Chain A
Amino acid sequence: MFRRLFFGLLLTCAAVAGAEPEKSVVRITTFTQQPVFDAPWRFESVRRASGSGFVIRGKRILTNAHVVSWARQLVVYRYQDPRPYLARPIFIGHDCDLAVLEVENPDFFEGMEALEIGELPKVRSTVVTYGYPAGGEQISYTKGVVSRVEVQAYAHIGNRAFLAVQTDAAINPGNSGGPVIQDDKVAGVAFQGMSGLENAGFFIPQPVIQHFLRDVEDGKLDGIPELGLRLVALQNQTYRKFLGLPDNDLGARVDYLYPELSAAKVLRPDDVLLQAGAYPIASDCTIIYQGNRVNVSAAFGEYQRGEAMPLKLWRQGRETNVSVTFGSKRLDQAEGNQYVLPRYYIFGGLVFTPLSLDYLRSFGANWADATSAELRYELFFRRMETPDKARPEPIVLATILSHDVNANFSIRGRALIDSINGIRIEKMEDVVRAFESSTNAQDAIEFVTQHNLECLNHAEAKAANAGILSNNNIKQDRRL
């Protein structure tokens, strides 16, 4: 079972804060072009897709991040109005899959009223989705009930999980970014479904929306910060006894702390979190959040970067109160989904680019079969298992642009770089420095995989560079 995004076809409309939300819902047509991570100077062909959005305060449109990612052009349409308006994203929160757009022509908003963000809907209550899903050109409405409220993985970025609401209202491709309405207010933003489930769609609820909107109020997007801890259930009685905890259902155990993140400065392994803010934490890592039992991360999600969260914890046999200040979000370049053009550097036909999940995913749905185990290990395990050997930005030799100077390389790409000319490669700048400061006759490139060694004649490679770029229609030898 996996989550899928309901983008690819349309949605949204506007409404006066009264009985006509559809008038505030807009249809978004996008023309996207993704980079080719394996050949990072190139782009895939332009694709047309569509989604939905809706007007919010400040003459802006709220939609999903995945609707507008990699967009070369965004066109928005008003309710029952054929005129196209050009729009552009001003904030894209890839972690929470939300984006704010502005429209170039202010006339677009004439007569439209912002939809008001409502509350987290109750389970079993009724909601209506508004949007422009596949199957037609006009706005579509589907009605359903709120099935459950839980913390779910957000498919767009793939490695974060936040509060989400499941509904049986049909949410189809094109609904993405459209509002889910209850009592004429926005209860959420439709965003994804789950393969294998019937009559189940998911929307981003008010707490996550409000977090995002509050985040960008200062004109800067910080993203949803992470505490940087792995909390595990504490339901084994022996473990509870070992920690001196009362035999009740309170408290989840800190199992691992990510060294570079906030929690590591305050918490320790085997601390037991009893309460986060106002929320008592149960032994299965859940809290009661507005009547719903959800993962405790919903409580963490209420804080912005720089804000402090009071924590009550159990440490060494007694209760302690601490405060954790949320830092920046996880430094997860190595985990991909950054939605920025890939950095690259080309020398002697060798194309270097950072290792990322986006890079791996560019090899298709079966990317795990198309890439070496070393790349996957480096990306997903290295920093946790051997942090002293981890690199801030692992670099791969993505491919080789064939030329006499590199024709005898036995490694042709998709290989992790260990060092160049004796310089350990920790980030792209190291690659540039290693080649451009070289005074060696040969440039020696050592790979992590099997410790292979390949060399270039430095002078010949340098002389050939311009020709290689020209032959491959590459304007720049780098994007740093």
Chain B
Amino acid sequence: MRFFQRTGIREFWRVAVIAAAWLAIGQSGFAGAKAERSPWEDSIVTVEVTRRQYDFIQPWTQRNETYKKQGVVLGPNQILTTADYLNDLSLARLQKNGRGPWVGATLAWIDYHADLAVLTTTNAEFWRGLKTVSLADPAPTAGSLQIMRWRNGNLENRKGEIARLAVRRSRLSFIEHLTLEVDSEINGAGWSEAVTIGGKLAGLTTSQDGNNCLAIPAPFIKFAVQGATSNPRRQMGFFDFVWQKAENPATLAQLKLTGEPRGVIIIDKASGADKSGLLKPKDILLQIEGFKIDTDGNYTDPNYGQLLLENLSTRGKYAGDKVRLTLWRDGQQLEVAYPLPRAEYNVEMVPEEVFDQAPEYLVAGGLVFEPLSEPFLRSWGAEWKRKAPFRLTYFDQEKPSEERPARVLLTIVLPDPFNLGYQDYRFLPVDKVNGKIISRMPDLVAAFQQPQNGYHHLEFGPGESVRTMILEAASTEAATRRVMEKYGVPKEKVINQP
């Protein structure tokens, strides 16, 4: 993990742009219509997913949205696709040949950090005639390839040129892995279109920006599939440290590095996931698994040349595996076996994603509490980092601590005579309730069960517009019921156990 500056992953505009482009294609047809049957027609299928979308300002409300994307036959009873848009799934269907009947499907597994999933169906007829793809491993590094997808019953086949192989953040996660960058005239890609070369699958697309498409390359797919299908299952890991380039000779001299400038300087933890204590600020990271790290943070990969060191966190290593790091500390070289921390969204103060669960909330006397998360902040739209309240967005810069691993907010107040005088307060980070520090929703539930002398004492941060509120404990429940009835809130709370 380099500087741990996340860019919003799931830009809302992307859907609109891609949908518009898709529509345009559908109306105008496309070049490259098949002249004869392509063998890929037996390996690429259409995936239709319907998922629940939540309104995080009114977390008890939801709507369904349906998307179409592509998948490939990974093996018997396995359709591989990207994990994007498969979260909070309510219905999945598969269609082969670009037309004909849809069959119901279920998730065999999904790895959001790797952005990959496998669907399956018990419909035996569906599998008939389908052929498993073979993966291009190692990934091609130059030359032409094809991007394929089903459109209006035809397999669209667009030419692409490999721009480069680089290490990038996963589309749905902070982990970084090998990524295939392809230049192509295709429009609206990024929906798991198959990228093929020489009859093999080179990757699955994840996004498109102009003529540049990003794809998960086959070697990483192979690695993720192996992890997901292992017993026990292997999870993605990541380097839980922030580094800076070591281009400044004076800084290296300060750190007593002798010889040629090399390595990068570890300056901080990225989150709180690494509990090993093996790394210290101002360590110079010289080698990873024997690969020398240069002052820009690159190593020379035997297959792909210069790559960022983060690739070594997802190159054959899973969470929990030991990675051999060569460090320079206090004028001495040393080696440590760094256990790769597991990539989990909740290692961050503000989780980047909250998948496959309804938003947590609690209504108490009309006061609505929710955990702070990026999905919540995205309620302010694609530019939430600029538009959401600054203090809330700044939590995204903070690292979790033992005492405060996450934050809970008073998001809104549903007006009621009980809370008269509090109605205008909103988006306040909760500090304590009834003297108990509140980090997660279960803390809040527990704290509300322990009123003090008949009152609930709510405390917010000193930088907020109000520090304290008092609720009468005995009448809170009745007020909650009244508010739920008045505002159509179906449940008093939704709390997910960690």
Contacts and interface: CB of A to CB of B under 8 A. Distances in A.
A444 B267 contact: no
A385 B467 CA distance: 11
B250 A237 contact: no
Interface in A362-416: 368-369, 373-374, 376-377, 380-381, 384-385, 408-410
A404 to B, nearest CB: 11
A454 B244 CA distance: 10
Interface stretch (B63-71, B141-149, B388-396): B388-396
B300 interface: no
B463 A384 contact: yes
Interface in B253-285: 253-254, 265, 267-268, 281-282
Interface stretch (B34-42, B54-62, B414-422): B414-422
A318 interface: no
A396 to B, nearest CB: 17
Contact of A255 (B420, B467, B475): B467
A373 B397 contact: yes
B251 A238 contact: no
Given A239-B470, A442-B250, A256 B420 contact: no
A214 interface: no
A237 B420 contact: yes
A374 to B, nearest CB: 7
Given A373-B397, A374-B397, A451 B421 contact: no
A385 B463 CA distance: 6
Contacts of A455: 248, 250-251, 253-254
B391 A381 contact: yes
Chain B interface size range:
35 or more
Interface string B357-398: 000000000000000000000000000001000110110010
B455 A242 contact: yes
B198 interface: no
Interface stretch (A113-121, A227-235, A301-309, A426-434): A227-235
Contacts of B462: 256, 384-385
Given A242-B470, A256-B462, A456-B250, A450 B265 contact: no
Contacts of B422: 236
B245 interface: yes
Contacts of A236: 419-422, 469-470
B244 A410 contact: yes
B1 to A, nearest CB: 12
B153 interface: no
B477 interface: no
B161 interface: no
B472 A238 contact: yes
Nearest to A284: B421
A239 B471 CA distance: 7
Contact of B248 (A233, A368, A373, A408): A408
B446 interface: no
Contact of A232 (B386, B463, B466, B475): B466
Interface string A230-271: 101111111101100000000000011000000000000110
Contacts of B386: 368-369
Interface string B281-313: 110000000000000000000000000000000
Contact of B469 (A239, A269, A376, A377): A239
A242 B469 CA distance: 10
B468 interface: yes
A457 interface: yes
A456 B248 CA distance: 9
B247 interface: yes
B355 interface: no
A241 B454 CA distance: 11
A410 B250 CA distance: 12
Given A239-B469, A384-B462, A408-B249, A452 B390 contact: no
B302 to A, nearest CB: 29
A410 B245 contact: yes
Contacts of B254: 441-442, 444, 453, 455
Interface string B456-492: 0000011101111111100100000000000000000
Give chain B's interface secondary structure class: mixed
A450 B472 contact: no
Contacts of A377: 394, 397
Contacts of B244: 410, 450, 452-453
A410 B253 contact: no
A462 to B, nearest CB: 13
B102 interface: no
B3 interface: yes
Contacts of A242: 455, 470, 472
A241 B472 contact: yes
Interface in B229-259: 242, 244-245, 247-251, 253-254
Nearest to B465: A232
B470 A451 contact: no
Contacts of A451: 242, 267-268, 281
Contacts, number: 106
A377 B250 CA distance: 30
B421 A234 contact: yes
A368 B281 CA distance: 30
Contacts of A235: 420-421
A238 B249 contact: no
B387 to A, nearest CB: 11
Given A410-B248, A451-B281, A455-B254, A256 B467 contact: yes
B480 to A, nearest CB: 14
A451 B269 CA distance: 10
A450 B242 contact: yes
B358 to A, nearest CB: 30
A450 B281 CA distance: 11
Contacts of B267: 450-453
B297 to A, nearest CB: 11
A269 B250 contact: no
B420 A453 contact: no
A444 to B, nearest CB: 5
A457 B4 CA distance: 29
Contacts of B248: 408-410, 454-455
Interface in A97-145: none
Interface in A265-308: 269-270
A454 B461 CA distance: 34
A444 B251 CA distance: 7
A455 B247 CA distance: 11
B394 A381 contact: yes
A454 B249 CA distance: 10
A182 B282 CA distance: 69
Nearest to B471: A238
Interface string B328-359: 00000000000000000000000000000000
A403 to B, nearest CB: 13
A202 B474 CA distance: 48
A220 to B, nearest CB: 33
B455 A238 contact: yes
A442 to B, nearest CB: 4
A302 to B, nearest CB: 26
Contacts of B281: 451
Contacts of A232: 465-466
A38 B154 CA distance: 59
A236 B455 CA distance: 13
Given A408-B247, A453-B282, A442 B253 contact: yes
26 contacts: A234-B421, A235-B421, A238-B418, A238-B470, A242-B470, A270-B468, A368-B386, A368-B390, A373-B393, A377-B394, A377-B397, A380-B463, A384-B462, A384-B463, A410-B244, A442-B254, A444-B251, A450-B244, A451-B281, A453-B251, A453-B267, A454-B248, A454-B251, A455-B254, A456-B250, A457-B253
Interface of A: 230, 232-239, 241-242, 255-256, 269-270, 368-369, 373-374, 376-377, 380-381, 384-385, 408-410, 441-442, 444, 450-457
Given A377-B397, A385-B461, A450-B244, 7 more contacts: A236-B419, A236-B470, A270-B468, A376-B394, A384-B461, A384-B463, A453-B251
